[in-house]
Amino acid sequence: MRTWSAGTAAHWCYLRAVAEAFEAAGMPVADWRADPGPPRDGWIPFDRSRASIVVWDHDQAGLGWSEIAGWYLLLINSPGRRVTIPLPVPLVAAPPTVIAAVAVRVGPAPSAIRSPGSSGHRDLPDADAGPGTPELERALSRYG
């Protein structure tokens, strides 16, 4: 049986907020997952079957997050060729910051990105905190 601590719940909420922001911005996601770890991490695969403001020239594309390594873009082409692109954003980057970092690498033009609307998370500042620190836990808890 999996138990959820306050830190795990905050990590889950953070990944959900980022996934929802990508949907609202016009880059649909297939789903998203949060793993309590250690280390805590997560995965947000893009949904290539739905209309998107990005043309994915890859068999699979998605975002990964780890409390150790931060955000990265993973592009997969058959047979088994993987490209991992670290995103130069803070460990707990606000969803619009993550979207902008992805857009720089794969398009689209900034004018094509739709506003996330009235999300309560869009105005939260980025937080660069070290893994396992109280600052990291506070930054994640803002999304809960």
Domain-embedded: residue 39:
yes
Domain-embedded: residue 134:
no
Phi-psi region of 56 (alpha: psi -120 to 50; beta: other; left: phi over 0): beta
| Residue 55 domain boundaries | 6-106
| Domains of the chain: total | 1
Q: Say how many residues make up the chain.
A: 144
Domain-embedded: residue 119:
no
Q: Is 85 helix (H, G, I), strand (E, B) or coil?
A: strand
**Tokens 């297939």 sit on residue:** 30
Domain-embedded: residue 133:
no
Q: State residue 2's pLDDT score.
A: 36
Per-residue pLDDT of the chain in tens (144 residues, 90 and over written 9): 334 445 568 889 999 999 999 999 999 999 999 998 889 999 999 999 998 888 888 889 999 999 999 999 999 998 879 999 999 999 999 999 999 999 989 877 666 777 655 455 657 889 988 888 899 999 999 998
Domain-embedded: residue 129:
no
HSE on the CB side for 41, CA within 13 Å?
A: 13
65's tokens = 């997050």
Domain-embedded: residue 143:
no
